[in-house]
Amino acid sequence: MARYVRAQCAALWLAAVCALVAGPVCAQDGWTLEPAARIEFQAVSAQSTTRDEDLVVEGEALSVRGQASLGLESKRTRVRVEADRIEVFRLGKGRADVSRDRLTAAIEHDLTRSFELQAQLRRYDDLVTVEAADTDAWEYSARATFEPTRANRFRLQGTWRERQYDSVAAPPTTGEGERIDAQYRRRFGAYHYLAFDLRSEAIRSDDPRRGYERESAGVAYTRPVAKDLRLRPAVEVIRTRFDGRIADNGALRRDRQTVPELELQWWPGPWRIEAEAKYIFFSSNEAAREREGYRLTLSVGRVF
């Protein structure tokens, strides 16, 4: 972990040096440098109950997130390097704090005025995933965006993921698999959208606890309600099938989530203030996992 943090700091230091050295050259060649940073504080409160209401699960947490990035842009090409870290402080007895690191490098290029391609590389450290609570991962993705008019945007992205799972009680194991994302967004005006999202993903692993397949579908509507203030209702349905987890009836475990949510976004100037309320309906063929409950989130951030 310490080695990874040192590497992250070194990458940021190198990016800063490159910015200082390359600035005059970029200005001459039509490229511009866009350094940016963001800090965000978040509070989460969640509660769920089993179907028989004989078990109540509560959880609260506070988190802080820091992000620094460096962009290099020309008329048709954009390059970005970004470092991101989250520290989560879980409240209550017996709940360990967690952290997550992420490094991103991406390049976007406009082939035409309506067609854009993106290639992206990401590295995660200590990521919480569907199949494990402590995952290190590499992700390689390619994305195509077609926007024939400002009102209509189509987007397709493919991602290949390589993961390593850490465990105190057992040797590390690995997994890999693809993820496909598709989106159609209808634009009605400034910050006024209707978006439809589909996703299909899978992880294959020699460890039977880690493999799974998942599909999801969602729709979200964003509408301005005042200056710098937007309302975003959404709903998502998620189906997950595990390769090696056995349910009570002896069959492989199958889960289904239905998640309606409502988000309020207030972005005055450099501030990013967001409040979100979700209600999660979780059904499964493993009785102990059937539950429902809410999740409330408040975040306050500032961009630089």
CA 1: distance to chain centroid?
21
Residue 102 DSSP label: E
Residues 67-125: tens digit of each pLDDT: 999 999 999 999 999 999 999 999 987 788 889 999 999 999 999 999 999 999 999 99
What is the per-residue pLDDT for 154? 98
Does the pLDDT value for residue 25 go beyond 50?
Answer: no
| Cβ 64 vs Cβ 39: under 8 Å | yes
Residues 204-247: tens digit of each pLDDT: 998 888 999 999 999 999 999 999 999 999 999 999 999 888 88
What is the per-residue pLDDT for 21? 41
CA distances from 256 to 54, 157, 290, 291 (A): 21, 24, 9, 11
Pair of tokens at residue 203 = 């992880």
Taking residues 20-49, report their average pLDDT.
78
Residues 148-187: tens digit of each pLDDT: 999 999 999 999 999 999 876 677 899 999 999 999 999 9
Least confident stretch, 25-34, 105-114, 176-185, 252-261: 25-34
What is the per-residue pLDDT for 29? 59
In terms of C-beta distances under 8 Å and separation of at least 24 residues, what long-range contacts does 261-265 make, across chains too?
261/233, 261/234, 261/235, 261/236, 262/231, 262/232, 262/233, 262/234, 263/231, 263/232, 263/233, 263/234, 264/229, 264/230, 264/231, 264/232, 265/229, 265/230, 265/231, 265/232
Tokens 């710098």 belong to 228
| Cβ 248 vs Cβ 290: under 8 Å | no
Domains and CATH numbers, the chain: 2-37+70-255 (2.40.160)
| pTM of the predicted protein model | 0.85
Q: How far is Cα 170 from Cα 164, in angstroms, rounded to an integer?
A: 13
- Reported confidence tier of residue 51, pLDDT bands at 50, 70, 90: low
CA distances from 62 to 28, 42, 48, 270, 297 (A): 45, 6, 19, 22, 10
Pair of tokens at residue 254 = 């199958």
What is the per-residue pLDDT for 257? 95
Residues 109-135: tens digit of each pLDDT: 999 999 999 999 999 998 989 888 889
Does the pLDDT value for residue 20 go beyond 70?
Answer: no
Q: State the pairing for strand pair 152-165/98-110.
A: unpaired
